[in-house]
């Protein structure tokens, strides 16, 4: 099996002011000095917190990401930000196609694809989110939904070995609900996603792509999830808001 470095990512969603982000990112840095040697750690605050968070993370090895971006480089797109803007704030990662973006803001597979292409072109690592709703799972459509989201989202995206896209499997029914997919359910989905990736980029690269699990990841369940062979990390919402909790997630292997 390829040697995939774990990635533990905080998605702070629409929480925290710049001062709070600075304070909490500083605490996380303090509490993850050991973990950062063996695990990639990422914090994705809101756009307005990027600069202050970057200051808190400076020199720490903890990476900064944004939660979204537009695919165009600049232009008349009120309320949007571009890849070069988030890069200038210190981002190296960008979360794309989160289910909340798809559900509440009308993001489509096509839009996710355009953003992913633009992110890779700009030198950012995209974290492309995929996942089925409860209804889709109950109808037995989980794999079809994942196949479509992966194939469409990654269409024509170059797989550069030094900047491989990251995928995040986030079953919508497990986000913020306290319902976690069982490690076996998550593993099944991850394995399926990796098999799909193999069709797109070949076995070697597919084996190097990190697939994160997201959906009610907590200090109490991360250990079991991370034991699964195709789970390479976590994308964490609620439990990332409290620095001690997020640090304990990043410290899962310590
Ligand atoms: P929760 O960890 O709050 O379930 O959120 C998961 C998520 O959406 C991360 O992107």
Q: DSSP H helical segments within 9-167, as ranges?
A: 18-31, 50-57, 83-88, 99-105, 109-122, 134-138, 142-153
- The chain-wide mean pLDDT, for the chain, equals 96
Which of 204, 205, 174 has its CA nearest to residue 189?
Answer: 174
Query: How far is Cα 109 from Cα 28, in angstroms, rounded to an integer?
Result: 33
Compute the average pLDDT of residues 62-87: 98
Contacting residues for 195 by C-beta, under 8 A, at least 6 apart: 206
Q: Is any ligand 1 atom within 6 A of the Cβ of residue 42?
A: no
Residue with CA nearest ligand 1 atom 1:
237
Phi-psi region of 202 (alpha: psi -120 to 50; beta: other; left: phi over 0): left
Tens-digit pLDDT profile for residues 211-224: 999 999 999 999 99
CB atoms within 10 A of CB 56: 22
pLDDT at res. 253: 82
Whether the pLDDT of residue 2 is over 70: the answer is no
Q: Do residues 95 and 127 make contact, with C-beta atoms less than 8 angstroms apart? A: yes
Decide if 175 contacts 216 (C-beta within 8 A): yes
Measured in angstroms, how far is the CA atom of residue 211 from the centroid of ligand 1?
15
Catalytic member of 70, 98, 100, 190: 98
pLDDT bucket at 179, cuts 50 / 70 / 90 = confident
Length of the chain: 254
How far apart, in Å, are the Cα atoms of 237 and each of 149, 170, 194, 217?
21, 11, 23, 8
- Cβ(238) – ligand 1 distance below 6 Å: yes
Long-range contacts of 187-192 (CB under 8 A, 24+ apart): 187/228, 187/229, 187/230, 187/231, 189/142, 189/143, 189/146, 190/228, 190/230, 190/231, 191/229, 191/230, 192/143, 192/146, 192/147
CA gap 8, 236 in Å, rounded: 8
Centre of ligand 1 from the C-alpha of residue 163, in Å: 24
| DSSP state letter for 107 | -
Structure tokens belonging to residue 142: 């989980």
The answer to whether residue 175 scores a pLDDT higher than 60 is yes
Residue range 58-74: average pLDDT? 98
Percent of the chain with pLDDT over 90: 94
Please state the atom number of ligand 1 nearest to the C-alpha of residue 178. 4
Q: How far apart are CA 55 and CA 89, in angstroms?
A: 10
Res. 1: pLDDT tops 60: no
> Rounded to whole angstroms, how far apart are CA atoms 240 and 244?
9
Ligand 1: which of 211, 216, 233 to mutate, most ligand atoms within 8 Å of CB? Answer: 216
Amino acid 134: pLDDT: 93
Is the beta carbon of 242 within 6 A of some atom in ligand 1?
Answer: no
- Residue range 7-250, CATH number: 3.20.20.70
């Amino acid at each position: 099996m390829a040697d995939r470095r774990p990635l533990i990512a905080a998605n702070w969603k629409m929480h925290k002011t710049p001062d709070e982000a600075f304070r909490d990112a500083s605490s996380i840095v303090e509490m993850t000095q050991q973990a950062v040697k063996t695990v990639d750690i990422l914090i994705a605050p809101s756009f307005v917190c990027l600069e202050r968070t970057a200051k808190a993370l400076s020199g720490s090895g903890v990476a900064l990401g944004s939660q979204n971006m537009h695919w165009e480089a600049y232009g008349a797109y009120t309320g949007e930000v571009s890849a070069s803007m988030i890069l200038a704030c210190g981002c190296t990662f960008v979360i794309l196609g989160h289910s909340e973006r798809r559900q509440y803001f009308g993001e489509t597979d096509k839009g996710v694809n355009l953003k992913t292409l633009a992110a890779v072109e700009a030198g950012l690592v995209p974290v492309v989110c995929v996942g089925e709703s409860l209804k889709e799972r109950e109808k037995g459509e989980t794999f079809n939904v994942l196949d479509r989201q992966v194939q469409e989202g990654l269409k024509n995206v170059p797989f550069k070995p030094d900047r491989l896209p990251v995928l995040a499997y986030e079953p919508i029914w497990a986000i913020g609900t306290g319902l976690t997919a069982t490690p076996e359910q998550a593993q099944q989905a991850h394995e399926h996603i990796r098999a799909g990736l193999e069709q797109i980029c070949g076995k070697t690269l597919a084996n190097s792509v990190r697939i994160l699990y997201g959906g009610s990841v907590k200090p109490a369940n991360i250990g079991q999830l991370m034991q699964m062979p195709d789970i390479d990390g976590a994308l964490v919402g609620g439990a990332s808001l409290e620095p001690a909790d997020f640090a304990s997630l990043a410290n899962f292997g310590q």
